[in-house]
Structure 1
């Protein structure tokens, strides 16, 4: 520590030293990161993102309607959602970056290039902290987007099996609502004026009813045992045809043809259900993929806007 050797006139007149003591040690180095400014910018960006997202949800729900020819279409809603997410990222990130650059500590004796880099880094860090905070608050939303895409991709692979199983597991017995029971019932339809080959006696009504139920159950099990993607074996066609011929009065050939045609109709229904399931699963997969890609693009836009806005805030701070 060196003390001054020269006294000013005022100092000499007052009889004491009032001059500053000069320290020969080098000045203390200040941190290149102002975490307080970063936290402030991140908080502002996260809050504005939350507000804009809530506003977007409200506008989106008010624009859709379950009624026909009312509200926007699904395509319009999807495009509007993408645009709104991008605008939200742009505005919130720009505000957060600007505040991080404007509120940071002024760096003395620092080169202009270094100041520019530090401002850009402050804006990027503010965007990163805000994105993590928003993701923590909206974990369920982001998880549903990613999880929906994974689930849709798995459904595309296994949708056919699920659809075929759902279509083929109709109630074999003659119960209302069973899809397979409908095809079983069509096998025993009689044409007008045709009398059944086996007519039960009046006293055997209960027994005949039980026999009919057993036949229906047996035919249902036969049809459900085989994969609907494969043709029905000939021995099963012959056996079911005999039961149909006894109940309807048709010839064996006509009964077997009815069995084959009915089974083909069941196969067609399963194929249609399989196609619909694949179409729905593929549409869900594409929607989830598009949402994830545009979310990625909007986050990149937010990072750029935050970094750029921080440089403007830093220049105004140092001006």
Structure 2
């Protein structure tokens, strides 16, 4: 009867087993070398992109690109520089691994990319990342000053062209300004304060007591401005309509802003995932390209014997 234990024995010699293990053994030194190359190259490329970006804006001229264009350009540059750095690091890791097997060299490149990505994420989310970001605070402040100056010029032009838009963050502020700016009454300061308080209670108070608050506000406005009660009631109704419209506009603007933020976050996450996948693929194939192809001398042959390539 045949020995069943022979079925599970390896058909190769122990020496061949050891050679297979050596060919596929991971080299952390090669991976770290690829990580350092990728990090330094990405830093150089990002600094180059920062320099080119700053040359496209000016604090004295008004023909600067808009913020959207700058953001898109910076994002594309970051993605491209990350892919180039990942490919360079992957090739370095695959080459330094000394593995003649392309798949093994490719996995060295892939692991190098993974470690590099982890280091970059750690730097961006740690205190060290804050220190690195602080180095560019001066540039950011300068660009912010340009934007504030442009915004101030636009606001000045808008005020010269016509009345200012309602204040969406505090819809009652414009109404209060109109009340305090009106003239009339025997004691303007005290009566205006009462009118402002009564109108605020009407607009922001309990809706169940709205009618009583409206009568009180109309009476206060009539005394503060020295106008008939009917005219004061019409004015109070106008203020209430203005307030309701401003609140509705603010809610609509908040919804649009939330929707735009949601879309931007979703697109950013998808693009970031795609960029990472492309970077990983670039590192893997670059690592395969870095696989070595050594020549070995067959056993028992002299130095002049023909070489056998692995």
Instruction: Verify same fold: TM over 0.5.
Output: yes
CA contact (8 A) 1:102 1:317 kept: no
1:224 is displaced (CA, Å) by 5.1
Structure 2 gaps of 5+ residues are 1-12, 134-166, 296-308
Q: Is the 8 A contact 1:94 1:305 kept in 2?
A: yes
- What are the residue-to-residue correspondences of 1:31-46 with 2, within 5 Å? 32-46=25-39
| 8 Å Cα contact 2:99-2:292 kept in structure 1 | no
Residue in 1 aligned with 2:231? 254
Q: Is the 8 A contact 2:201 2:213 kept in 1?
A: yes
Which residue among 167, 177, 180 is the counterpart of 1:185? 180
Q: Is the 8 A contact 1:183 1:262 kept in 2?
A: no
Matches within 5 A, 1:71-220: 71-106=64-99, 115-139=101-125, 166-168=169-171, 178-185=173-180, 188-189=182-183, 200=186, 208=187, 211-212=190-191, 214-220=193-199
2:269 is aligned with 1:266 = no
Post-superposition shift, 1:281? Answer: 4.2
Q: C-alpha distance in 2, partners of 1:212/1:48?
A: 70
Q: How far did residue 90 of structure 1 move?
A: 2.1
In structure 2, relative to structure 1, the CA distance for the partners of 1:238 and 1:135 (3 Å cut) is same
Q: Cα gap change, 1:69/1:317 in structure 2, threshold over 3 Å: closer, same or farther?
A: farther
- Structure 1, unpaired ranges of 5+: 1-23, 108-114, 145-163, 171-177, 191-195, 201-207
Of structures 1 and 2, the larger Rg is shown by 1
TM-score normalised by structure 2 residue count: 0.65
- Deviation track 1:6-29 (CA, whole Å, cap 9, x = no partner) reads xxxxxxxxxxxxxxxxxx984745
Trace 1:270-289 onto structure 2 (pairs within 5 A): 270-289=247-266
Distance 1:25 1:129 in 2: 34
Shift of 1:134: 1.7
TM-score (norm 1): 0.64
Which segments of structure 1 move beyond 4 Å, counting only runs of 4 or more?
65-69, 315-319
Q: Is the partner of 1:233 in helix, strand or coil?
A: helix
CA shift for structure 1 position 81: 2.3
Q: CA deviation at 1:104?
A: 1.1
Indicate the residue corresponding to 2:3 in structure 1.
none
Is contact 2:33-2:93 (8 Å) kept?
yes
